[in-house]
C-alpha cells in the first residue's frame, strides 16, 4: 500500500469585500489636497456632497484618501462625480467654505474647483461607532475629515 494521502483543510471563500477598506490614520490636523467631489442621495432620499481628499503631509500617511460629507439642500441634475448642488446659507459647507475663501456673490456659482488648487488644513478623526451608536470592531474603523480649518500657509 502507498502512503496516506496528504489531507489539508482549505479555507472557503464565500464572499469578497467590495472595494477596499477606507483609510485609517491617527486623529489630528493634516494638510489635505481636494481630489474630487461627488453628489449622492443617502438611502435614496437625503442629498449629500462628499469631498475626497488625499493627505499631503509627508510621511507614512501621505496619499491616504479621507472624505468630508455634507448635507446639502438639493442636487441639481444627475448625482455623481463633480455633481452640482444647492447649499443652504447655514449649512456646514457654506460656513467652512467662507472660513477658507470668500463666499461667492451668487450661490449658483459655488466654486469647489478653486479648492483643488490649494492645500487645506483639516481635522481628521476616527469613526468608532455606526449611525446607530453601535461600536465598530477595530478592523473596520476608518478616518474621516471632521472639519476644514484653514488654507495652509
Question: How many CB atoms sit inside 10 A of residue 41's CB?
Answer: 11
111-121 pLDDT, tens digit each: 888 899 999 99
Per-residue model confidence (pLDDT) at position 104: 65
Global pTM reads: 0.83
- By C-alpha distance, which of 111, 120, 148, 143 is closest to 22? 143
- Matching residue, cell 456646514: 92
Q: 3-class SS at 59?
A: coil
Amino acid at each position: 500500500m502507498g502512503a496516506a494521502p496528504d489531507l489539508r483543510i482549505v479555507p472557503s471563500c464565500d464572499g469578497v469585500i467590495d472595494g477596499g477598506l477606507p483609510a485609517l490614520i491617527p486623529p489630528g490636523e493634516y494638510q489635505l489636497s481636494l481630489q474630487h467631489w461627488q453628489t449622492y442621495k443617502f438611502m435614496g432620499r437625503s442629498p449629500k456632497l462628499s469631498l475626497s481628499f488625499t493627505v499631503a503631509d509627508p510621511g507614512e500617511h501621505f496619499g491616504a484618501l479621507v472624505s468630508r460629507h455634507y448635507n446639502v439642500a438639493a442636487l441639481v441634475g444627475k448625482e455623481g462625480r463633480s455633481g452640482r448642488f444647492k447649499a443652504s446659507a447655514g449649512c456646514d459647507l457654506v460656513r467652512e467654505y467662507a472660513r477658507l475663501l470668500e463666499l461667492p456673490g451668487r450661490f449658483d456659482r459655488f466654486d469647489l474647483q478653486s479648492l483643488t488648487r490649494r492645500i487645506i488644513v483639516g481635522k481628521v478623526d476616527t469613526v468608532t461607532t455606526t449611525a446607530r451608536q453601535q461600536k465598530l470592531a477595530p478592523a473596520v474603523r476608518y478616518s474621516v475629515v471632521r472639519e476644514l480649518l484653514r488654507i495652509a500657509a
